[in-house]
Chains A and B, each alone.
Chain A
Amino acid sequence: MADRLQDDSDGGILQEVAQGIEYAMDHCISRYGGLVWSIAQRYVQDHSSAEDVVQETFTDLWKSAKRYDPAIATECTFIGMLARRRAIDFARKESRRPQLEPLPEGESLHHASVEPSAAVSCESEDVRAALKELPQETQQIFSLHFDEGMTHPEIAKKTGLPLGTVKTRLRRGLIEVRDRLRRLDGGQPFTSATS
């Protein structure tokens, strides 16, 4: 269901970035620079470090664009994931978050996944629809975490919920949204951890 993963703005620009075509790289910076900057600022407080996150994210992108598989995710989500990884890595240095595994070298995202369907539908309307199906309280927690960038203790303080409840609802909510997006993409839920 690769076709549904590409919105009009995607247009396969990463395939041209992978070939080192300058205007495609310019387009990428122009289109996704603001998003990467937002993600960097969300995780990294220091302005100079946020600038480094953006620089390193795009360097990652120039190197790893050839591993992008449109059957797995939209370009926007792929770039968001690279930025998120890089930002979390910087934040980890401030002892705030754990390190994520680096992307495997020389393999496409599709091959990097062991299981049959890493693909989830990342179309905006599908993500919005999946979020709306979460319980109201979980939606609020998601908004505080993903939109306002609050930490778990900050969410617990604001909502009055126990910290453990915030943690559990975020984790289970993420799995639930993943399963809904995966169903929209035609995949099977709960297969990622099976052998």
Chain B
Amino acid sequence: MSDQDILRRFEELEAGRILGDLDAEESKEWEELSKGSRCHMDLSLELTAAAIETEFLQSRDSVLPDKVLANLNEGKAQFITNEPDTETVVRPTLWLQLLSAPQTAWAIAALFAILFVAKSLVQGPTINSDPPVVIIPPSPEEARDQLLREASDLIESDFGGLERYDEMSGKVVWSDELQEGYMTLTNLPANDPAANQYQLWIVDPDRDEKPVDGGVFDIPTDGNTAIIPIRNPLAITKPQAFVITLEQPGGVVVSKQEVVVALAKAS
């Protein structure tokens, strides 16, 4: 048997191993061949099998049973650190958000200020040095107002409080293009973050059948007006509604909607 024949035979057996159809004799043959210097395994066949399988199964839209979901949420706790390391890779969607966020202008300004200071240090002290530049990030109100000025595709909708939250009122503004939005909420009762937190959900059927997480937030004091930035980890393309629920601290992946606080339908 030539080297090429041996390699082809090994590949066929490797495919059988991945597919789980090796008989006892073939298993022994595979073991023998895999010890040889000519035959090495890689993951390509296994990845191909996984890619084919996921391609077929993805379209089934299976949903995890609640019990399994609860176990996963419990089991993940020991792996949570919530401390990005110094080499954090920002996801593309976040890049888009960062580039379009009003804070970016401030960050760029800060960068130029740092570069200017660094250049000054390299060139030596100057006689008329300026006072240090203090960069103050925009408040949520300023950021919202900037969005109102700049967004060309702004969606605006009023929140209506439900049941015991019927005294609350509010407005949501959202821009698909900038992937940025804010809620202005009045008379929403203060929450105890150790007991529960408010969570925003964005209904975007173009993206997913299930509402998309819009971020967890707190209302520190009763009776005031709070401006809350929307924090969407996923890109939103065509929001149909915004829903606020009350959830356990840290929020949930899928809301049971036991306490629906307010609803805003996009016009």
Residues of A within 8 A of B (CB): 8, 11-13, 15-16, 19-27, 29-30, 33-35, 37-39, 41-42, 51, 54-55, 58-59, 62-63, 72-74, 76-78, 80-81, 84, 88, 91, 96-98, 100-101, 109, 112-115, 117-120, 122, 124, 127-128, 131, 142-143, 145-147, 152, 167-168, 170-172, 174-175, 177-178, 181-182, 190, 192-195
Contacts and interface: CB of A to CB of B under 8 A. Distances in A.
Contacts of B20: 88, 91, 96-98
* Residue picked from B14, B55, B61, most chain A C-beta under 10 Å: B55
A193 to B, nearest CB: 4
- Residue in A20, A97, A193 with the greatest tally of chain B CB atoms within 10 Å: A193
Given A19-B83, A54-B68, A81-B50, A174 B40 contact: no
Nearest to B43: A118
Given A88-B20, A98-B20, A33 B72 contact: yes
A120 B51 contact: yes
A181 B48 contact: yes
Most buried by A among B16, B42, B47, B62: B47
B56 A143 contact: yes
A67 B154 CA distance: 41
Size category of the B interface is 35 or more
Nearest to B54: A80
A75 to B, nearest CB: 10
A118 B81 contact: no
A143 B234 CA distance: 32
B80 A172 contact: no
Contact of B52 (A72, A131, A167): A131
Interface stretch (B88-96, B171-179, B218-226): B88-96
A72 B68 contact: no
B73 interface: yes
B132 interface: no
Contacts of B7: 190, 193-194
Contact of A30 (B17, B53, B253): B253
A158 B19 CA distance: 19
